Amino acid sequence: MVDWKKPPRLFIPGPVKVDEEVLQQLARPTLSHRGAEYAQLHGETVDMLKKILFTDQNVFLSTSSASGIWEAAIRNCVDTDEVVLCTCCGAFSDKWAEVAASCARNVEALKVDWGSATTSEMIDEKLAAGKYAAVTIVYNETSTGLTNPVYQISEMMKDKYPDVLVFVDAVSAMVGLPLHFDDLGWDVTFASVQKAFAIPPGLAVAVVSDRALEKSKSVPGRGYYFDFQQFAKNAAKSQTPTTPNIPHIMALHHQCTKLLAEGMENVWQRHREMAEYVRTWALEKFDLFCEQKYASDTLTTVKNTRGINVAETIAAIQAKHNTIFGNGYGKLKEQTFRIAHMGDITLGDLEQLLGWIDDEIRQ
Ligand SMILES: Cc1ncc(COP(=O)(O)O)c(C=O)c1O
C-alpha cells in the first residue's frame, strides 16, 4: 500500500521535485478571479514571464496541462484548408501530429528516427517542396532526451519562410534552456509548470505572437476553452477567460521572482552543469540514447547498454530510498531510463540518486 503522506522524491521528467516554499504558495487563501488583487497577481506574473521568455508579445496562463496548447495552436492558427508540417522525432512530437490530425487539419509529418534530431536542412527541404501554413517542432523531446537545434531552425525559417508560422512545444525546455521568443520569431510556444518551473501540475504558460493572434481572428471553429481571442480579451484586464488555477499562479509568481533574481543566464548554466554531471556518469556506466551533441540539459535518456531490469531497479530504489526516476517512454520502456535535472533539483540530489543507482547495478 502506497503511503501518499510520504511522497517519493521525484527524478522523473515531470512532475519534478517541488520545494516546500512553493507548496506553501499553493496553500495561500484564494482570491476573487475578477478582483483587483488577482489582477495584480496575474499582471505581475505575466510581466515577469515576458522577461524570462524575452518577449513583448502575448503571454497567456491556461488552467490546463500543456497538451491543451498543442490543440490550441492548431485550432486557432491553422485553417481547415491549410497544411501543417509536424516534425516528429519521438513520442511527444509524434503525439502533436496526432493531435493536429484529430483537430481535422491537414497534417504532413516529417519523421526522423527516435534519437535523431530534426535539422533546419530537413525542414527547409520539405518546405521548399510544398505549401505549408505552419510547422510544429518539439524543442526538447522528453522521450529521447534530445534537444532539437531550434535556434538554427528559427534562423532558417526567418530567412527563407517568414510567412510560415512556427509553433514550438517547449514543455520540458522552458526556463531550463534558452528561449528568446521574439528574436526567434516564433508564433506559439508553451510549457506546463510541472517541468522546469518546478510547480505541481495544473497550469500551462503560453506565448502567442501578435501575428498568430491576428490570424486566429479569421480561423473558424476555434472552440471555447482555448480560444486565443478570449485569452487576449481577458489578458487586457489581467484576467483569464475562465476561472484560473489561482494557487498555481501564486506559485508561478514565486518561482518567476526567484528565476529573475538568479538571472536567466545563470539558470541555464545551472541546468547545463547538472546535465554534464549526469551525462558524464551515463557515458561512463551506460550510454546516451541520442547523439551526444543534441543531448538535453533538462533530462538525460540513458541507453540501457548493460541490460539492467529498469522496472526492478526503479522499484528497488523506491523501496530503499523512497525515490523514483523515469523508465523509458513508450516503446523505449526497458531500452532506456530517464533522469530529470531541471527546476529545483540540485547537483546534491543527483549525486545521491546516481550513487543509489550505482549500488543497484553493482549487485
Ligand atoms: C515535450 C512534451 N510535450 C507535451 C507534453 C504533455 O504535457 P502535459 O502532460 O502537461 O499535457 C509532455 C509531457 O511530458 C512533454 O514532455
Helix (H, G, I), strand (E, B) or coil at 84: strand
Asked whether residue 363 carries a pLDDT value surpassing 80, the answer given is: no
Q: How confident is the model over 234-250, as a mean pLDDT?
A: 98
Query: Could you tell me the distance, in angstroms and rounded to a whole number, from the CA of residue 333 to the centre of ligand 1?
Result: 17
**Number of the ligand 1 atom closest to the C-alpha atom of 67:** 11
Q: How many Cβ atoms from other residues are within 10 Å of residue 55's Cβ? A: 21
Torsion angles phi and psi, residue 362, rounded to 5:
-75, -25
8 Å CB contact between 201 and 65: yes
8 Å CB contact between 72 and 228: yes
pLDDT band at 241 (very low <50, low <70, confident <90, very high): very high
pLDDT band at 319 (very low <50, low <70, confident <90, very high): very high
Instruction: Say if ligand 1 is within 6 A of residue 299 CB.
Output: no
8 Å CB contact between 90 and 146: yes
Cell of 73: 495552436
Q: Using the 8-state DSSP alphabet, how is residue 53 labeled?
A: T
Instruction: Say if ligand 1 is within 6 A of residue 98 CB.
Output: no
Helix (H, G, I), strand (E, B) or coil at 136: strand
Give the whole-angstrom CA distance, residue 170 versus residue 361: 33
Asked whether residue 295 carries a pLDDT value surpassing 70, the answer given is: yes
**Number of the ligand 1 atom closest to the C-alpha atom of 140:** 1
Instruction: Say if ligand 1 is within 6 A of residue 109 CB.
Output: no
Sign of torsion, CA 232 233 239 245?
negative
Query: Could you tell me the distance, in angstroms and rounded to a whole number, from the CA of residue 35 to the centre of ligand 1?
Result: 32
Query: Could you tell me the distance, in angstroms and rounded to a whole number, from the CA of residue 363 to the centre of ligand 1?
Result: 35
Asked whether residue 142 carries a pLDDT value surpassing 70, the answer given is: yes
Asked whether residue 300 carries a pLDDT value surpassing 90, the answer given is: yes
Q: For residue range 179-222, what is the model confidence (pLDDT) as tens digits?
A: 999 999 999 999 999 999 999 999 999 999 999 999 999 999 99
Q: How confident is the model over 160-181, as a mean pLDDT?
A: 98
8 Å CB contact between 353 and 11: yes
For a ligand 1 pocket test, name from 12, 61, 67 the mutation site with the most ligand atoms within 8 angstroms of its C-beta: 67
**Number of the ligand 1 atom closest to the C-alpha atom of 143:** 16
Which CATH number is 20-261's, of 3.40.640.10, 3.40.50.920, 3.30.360.10, 2.60.40.10?
A: 3.40.640.10
Query: Could you tell me the distance, in angstroms and rounded to a whole number, from the CA of residue 257 to the centre of ligand 1?
Result: 24
Q: What pLDDT is attached to residue 296? A: 98
Q: How many Cβ atoms from other residues are within 10 Å of residue 293's Cβ? A: 9
Q: How confident is the model over 293-317, as a mean pLDDT?
A: 97
Quote the percentage of the chain above a pLDDT of 70: 99
Q: What pLDDT is attached to residue 35? A: 97
Q: What pLDDT is attached to residue 4? A: 80
Q: How confident is the model over 69-81, as a mean pLDDT?
A: 98
Asked whether residue 145 carries a pLDDT value surpassing 90, the answer given is: yes
Asked whether residue 2 carries a pLDDT value surpassing 80, the answer given is: no
Q: For residue range 243-264, what is the model confidence (pLDDT) as tens digits?
A: 999 999 999 999 999 999 999 9
Q: Which residue has the cell 515531470?
A: 14
Instruction: Say if ligand 1 is within 6 A of residue 14 CB.
Output: yes
pLDDT band at 130 (very low <50, low <70, confident <90, very high): confident
Q: What pLDDT is attached to residue 3? A: 79
8 Å CB contact between 260 and 52: yes
Query: Could you tell me the distance, in angstroms and rounded to a whole number, from the CA of residue 171 to the centre of ligand 1?
Result: 6
Quote the percentage of the chain above a pLDDT of 90: 97
Torsion angles phi and psi, residue 309, rounded to 5:
-85, 105
pLDDT band at 5 (very low <50, low <70, confident <90, very high): confident
Give the whole-angstrom CA distance, residue 78 versus residue 215: 9
Q: What pLDDT is attached to residue 312? A: 96
- The domain ranges of the chain are 9-16+264-362, 20-261
**Number of the ligand 1 atom closest to the C-alpha atom of 13:** 14
Pairing label, strands 134-138, 165-169: parallel
Q: Which CATH superfamily is domain 9-16+264-362 in?
A: Aspartate Aminotransferase, domain 1 (3.90.1150.10)
Q: For residue range 16-38, what is the model confidence (pLDDT) as tens digits?
A: 999 999 999 999 999 999 999 99
pLDDT band at 133 (very low <50, low <70, confident <90, very high): very high
Instruction: Say if ligand 1 is within 6 A of residue 67 CB.
Output: yes
Mean pLDDT, all residues of the chain: 97
For a ligand 1 pocket test, name from 92, 118, 137 the mutation site with the most ligand atoms within 8 angstroms of its C-beta: 92
Q: What pLDDT is attached to residue 1? A: 64
